[in-house]
Amino acid sequence: MRVLVIEDHPGLANNIARALRDSAAYAVDISPDGQDGLFMAQSNPYDLILLDLMLPRLDGLEVLRRLRAASCRVPVLILTSRDDKETTVALLDAGADDFLTKPFDVSEMVARSRALIRRSHGHAAPQIQIGDLIILPEEMTVIRGGEPLALTAMEYRLLEYMAHRPRAVLSKSELLEHLYDYNWEKFSNVLEVYVSSLRRKLNREGAVPLIHTLRGRGYVLVRDDVVTPP
């Protein structure tokens, strides 16, 4: 999952980014002002936007209004020091999905971020299950056939994104755009390496294969009894 943090306070922005990377294995971009943040939000595919209200160049409420006017459906979590009813109503009417009042607990911020991403993909339950595969995002834990799997942070990030879109054919470019932040070094075979490693860990002896390669199209996460590769 890839997240955009639009926050002009460098210390807070870095703390938010660090928490999202460490506690949720998200890729995170940071923007220091509203105008730049709006440009980044409209130029890159994000799964969540954390948006401060008091921003230079363009305030957060206007950023939100312009995003929704452009039919941007990415969930937006507002960060604000204002908790009056008028502000809350204005934010919800403008299209905010949730908000946190500063100062906030970092663990709550991470939990709300997970919930917004989960709901945007149609998952109400806190865990994702596909066959005998269970993913627990709150713990970043993966279980297959009752046995926990030891995944790297990138393997987990890849699996969680695919699990949020089961049966969908995901192109290489889509996966790369959602798994890496703006500054990633573009090595041509990096995705293939992680897919191969993840597939090997998931497909233990006797297990039904879950990750399939569709030549010229991409990858799909689904049990092999419901997919027919060309």
**Would you kindly state where each structural domain of the chain is located, as residue ranges?**
2-120, 128-221
What is the band of 102 on the pLDDT scale with cuts at 50, 70, 90? very high
Give the contacts of 118 (CB within 8 A, at least 6 positions apart).
124, 126, 137, 164
| Distances in whole angstroms, Cα of residue 179 to Cα of each of 26, 52, 101, 115 | 7, 23, 28, 18
Confidence (pTM): 0.89
Residue type, 110: V
What is the band of 38 on the pLDDT scale with cuts at 50, 70, 90? very high
Strand partners, 100: 79
| pLDDT of 187 strictly over 70 | no
Q: Do domains 2-120 and 128-221 have the same CATH topology?
A: no
Distance CA(143)–CA(150), nearest Å, equals: 9
The total number of residues written for the chain in this structure:
230
What is 2-34 written as a DSSP string?
EEEEE-S-HHHHHHHHHHHHHHH--EEEEESSH
Determine the average pLDDT of the residues in 88-102. Answer: 93
Say what the pLDDT of residue 3 is.
98
As a CATH number, domain 128-221 is 1.10.10.10
Say what the pLDDT of residue 228 is.
45
As a CATH number, domain 2-120 is 3.40.50.2300
Say what the pLDDT of residue 172 is.
92
Say what the pLDDT of residue 208 is.
87
